[in-house]
Amino acid sequence: MIPPRLRRTARSILAAVCLVTAGAVLAACSPVKEDRGYIFDPKDLTKIQAGVTSKEQVRTIMGSPSTTSTIDGEAWYYISSKFETYTFNRPQEIDRAIAAFYFEKTDVVQEVAYYGLEDGQIVNFVDRTTPTRGKELTVLGQLFGNLGRYNAPGAGIPTTGAGNPNRR
């Protein structure tokens, strides 16, 4: 027969273990959220106006751009992304915000544009490899492939021949 005091202690320990286990299970199910890139402040974006704000003013307000472009004029891009990761899965991008500032030749903002995740396009990269001659060996093939291949006695000694300097 188990004494009542020991029975209460065992119940308390079992309840604590159950609570810790339930907390760990619930924590594993919640996603890990991560912000990457430039974090936008809506107040800063309202300070920049097309036809008024100069390039240096944009740099002062927003800081250095995430990336720039010099095709068809100059543009600065400030990129922010939000990612979610569930347990052992790869991170998934759930939101993207891009503020683009297009400049005239006089270094004044010509246009301000905002883009989101829905504006992006998937680009499939072609991953081609050039085949090489020969055969691919497995690990075991590489290990056992050299068995029996050894130099015969005297293989390191040059033989007499037309191009041999040790010729007699």
- Contacts of residue 77, defined as CB under 8 A and 6 or more positions apart, other chains included, come to 65, 66, 67, 68, 69, 98, 99, 100, 101
Q: What is the model's pLDDT at position 82? A: 92
Give the H/E segment covering residue 47: none
Bridge partners (DSSP) listed for residue 75: 69, 102
- Contacts of residue 66, defined as CB under 8 A and 6 or more positions apart, other chains included, come to 37, 38, 77, 78, 79
Q: Is the pLDDT of residue 167 over 80?
A: no
Residue 102: band (very low, low, confident or very high) from pLDDT cuts 50, 70, 90:
very high
Residue 109: band (very low, low, confident or very high) from pLDDT cuts 50, 70, 90:
very high
Helix ranges restricted to H, the chain: 4-29, 42-46, 55-62, 139-144
Geometric angle at alpha carbon 21, from 19 and 22, rounded to 5°: 65
* Domain ranges (residues) in the chain: 32-129
- Kindly report the average pLDDT of the chain as a whole number: 79
Geometric angle at alpha carbon 114, from 112 and 119, rounded to 5°: 135
CA–CA separation, 123 and 113 (whole Å): 22
Q: What is the model's pLDDT at position 122? A: 66
Q: What is the model's pLDDT at position 59? A: 92
Read off the pTM: 0.57
Both tokens assigned to 116: 């989101």
pLDDT in tens, 124-160: 667 677 767 767 777 777 777 777 666 656 555 555 5
What mean pLDDT do residues 1-17 have?
Answer: 76
Measure Cα distances from 62 to 12, 59, 67, 123 in Å.
56, 5, 13, 29
pLDDT in tens, 14-58: 877 777 777 666 666 778 889 988 888 888 888 999 999 999 999
Q: What is the model's pLDDT at position 101? A: 92
The distance from CA 25 to its chain's CA centroid, rounded to whole angstroms, is 27
